[in-house]
Copies of this chain bind each other. A is one copy, B any other.
Amino acid sequence: MDVRRLVGENVRRYRLAAGLTQEQVAERMGVDRAYVSSLEAGTRNPTVITLWHAAQALGVEVHLLLRASGGTG
């Protein structure tokens, strides 16, 4: 179980569903574009505050970014 990968997959899914580019998400989050890229790649271990900013940028509730994709949702 790798939460970093889980977060990355969720960010990408919600971003594409919202029709946004990484650049747009980065601007909304107030972070660098390269950061969003590595976040989606699952190579980052973001803090909960960063995760919250991502959720805001994507227009979803923060806990959704930690839900398993194929989970019993």
Contact = CB atoms under 8 A, between A and B. Distances in A.
Interface of A: 1, 3-4, 7, 45-49, 51-52, 61-68, 71
A1 B47 CA distance: 15
Task: Give the 10 A-B CB pairs with smallest separation, nearest first.
Answer: A63-B66, A63-B63, A3-B52, A45-B47, A3-B48, A63-B67, A62-B66, A45-B49, A47-B47, A7-B48
A71 B64 CA distance: 13
A65 B45 CA distance: 17
A46 B47 contact: yes
A4 to B, nearest CB: 7
A63 to B, nearest CB: 4
